[in-house]
Amino acid sequence: MNRLHLFSVLRTAVQRSRAAQVALLAGLWLAGNFATRAIGLPFPGAIVGLGLMLLLLGSGFVRPASVRRGARFLIGEMLLFFVPAVLAVMDHAEWLGPLGLKLFATVLLGTLLVMLGTAFAVDLSYRWWVRHAVR
């Protein structure tokens, strides 16, 4: 069995196993954390890991099929991973009063502004782009 064959066997195994794909993504996250600490990069390890993954995909060294199932799992079930932080509300009984209304109003009005602003900025610039790029 030559090395090339071993590599393709490994690749097929990774493409079949979601757990192996999650392990691959976790490995890149750890590598990102390590790089951040060792070199003193100004970015968090997760972002460095994202960049590394993008490089691996872009260079063709890792095929999308080798991480697709793992990535869909991690992104799709993300609520499970952050629900422990959301339970912090239980320490904030004071939010049941006027303070909670103020917080809610901030989120509500802020989100309205974000949606309106983003949609109009994108729509206007898209129309401008279409008019000037494609004649």
Partner 1 sequence: MRFADAWVSDAFWLAATVAAYVAARALYRRRPVWWLSPLLVAPTLLLGLALGARVGYGDYFHATHWLMLALGPATVAFALPIYEHRTVIRRNWPVLIIGVAAGSAIAMTSAWGLSSLFGLSESLRLSLLPRSMSMPFALIVAGDIGGVPDLTAVFVVVTAVVGVAMGEVLLKWLPLKSALARGSLFGMGAHGAGVAKATEIGGEEGSIAGLVMILSGVANVLAAPLVVFLLR
Return the range that interacts with partner 1 (CB under 8 A); candidates 2-10, 11-19, 22-30.
Answer: 22-30
What residues from 23 to 42 belong to the interface with partner 1 (CB under 8 A)? 25-26, 28-29, 32-33, 42
- For 100, residues 6+ apart whose C-beta sits below 8 A from its C-beta are 94
Q: What angle do CA 70, 71, 77 make, to 5 degrees?
A: 90
CA–CA dist 64, 33 (Å, integer): 23
Q: Residue 12 or 125: which CB sits closer to partner 1?
A: 125
CB 35 within 8 A of CB 45: yes
SS (H, E, C) 65-83: HHCHHHHHHHHHCHHHHHH
Residue 7 C-beta: closest distance to partner 1, Å: 21
Q: Residue 6 or 37: which CB sits closer to partner 1?
A: 37
21 CB neighbour count, 10 Å cutoff: 23
User: By CB under 8 A, is residue 96 in contact with partner 1?
Assistant: no
User: By CB under 8 A, is residue 116 in contact with partner 1?
Assistant: yes
What residues from 1 to 20 belong to the interface with partner 1 (CB under 8 A)? none
Size of the site for partner 1 (CB under 8 A): 71
Q: Which of 2, 4, 64, 97 binds partner 1 (CB under 8 A)?
A: 64
